[in-house]
Chains A and B, each alone.
Chain A
Amino acid sequence: AAGVIQSPRHLIKEKRETATLKCYPIPRHDTVYWYQQGPGQDPQFLISFYEKMQSDKGSIPDRFSAQQFSDYHSELNMSSLELGDSALYFCASSSHRGNTIYFGEGSWLTVV
């Protein structure tokens, strides 16, 4: 069965650079979530989209933005990167018809 696809899996950026993460949800899933997991921490909610509209916003820095496109894929844009942005970034998706939220394998971001 198709899962949530995230790309890239790993990326290394320098401070003040920009990074873009992509997420392709499970087919027919209408909701996408973005989470950030720092080293040794639990995942923290950043932002979510339902039917291509922003549905909720968490602790997402102003330097970050995200959107969901007409084909339901989503992108997380991170600008002016800081060392503290180094983390594992997850995308997850769900359907309003089901209860389960599935996560992608994550994108490891290292800021040097």
Chain B
Amino acid sequence: AQKITQTQPGMFVQEKEAVTLDCTYDTSDPSYGLFWYKQPSSGEMIFLIYQGSYDQQNATEGRYSLNFQKARKSANLVISASQLGDSAMYFCAMRENGGTSYGKLTFGQGTILTVHP
């Protein structure tokens, strides 16, 4: 079964508008972490934001925020005030801690975001 699901292969947004990228996950581990990464066409994997399963508040990092709905097992990324440089592939990923601090990441299929001027 797919552990991380990103149902939007591609998304389009107008510059300066907000956009939400969807991510749902599946785990029975009570302790896990959710990550979002940006991968531009140049290939590097850039960390954006992290949400722990026990965190009470939604994570925010500048223009990025994570809409964490634990009961629904969703962790959507919200990008406010989109910029042309936000055009990239975005990956949602999960780490199931399993009582350790070094669990591996499992990635979703990714969403290609295109920002129009």
A: which residues have CB within 8 A of B? 30-31, 33, 35, 42-43, 45, 48, 50, 55-56, 58, 88, 90, 92, 94, 96, 99-106, 108
Q: B102, A45: Cβ atoms under 8 Å? A: no
Also in contact, A99 and B44, with CB within 8 A (given A33-B104, A42-B107, A43-B107): no
Q: B102, A55: Cβ atoms under 8 Å? A: yes
B35 is an interface residue with CB less than 8 A from chain A? yes
B106 is an interface residue with CB less than 8 A from chain A? yes
Binds A, one of B21-29, B45-53, B74-82: B45-53
Q: A96, B43: Cβ atoms under 8 Å? A: no
B37 is an interface residue with CB less than 8 A from chain A? yes
Q: A96, B101: Cβ atoms under 8 Å? A: yes
Distance, CA A48 to CA B95, complexed state (A): 13
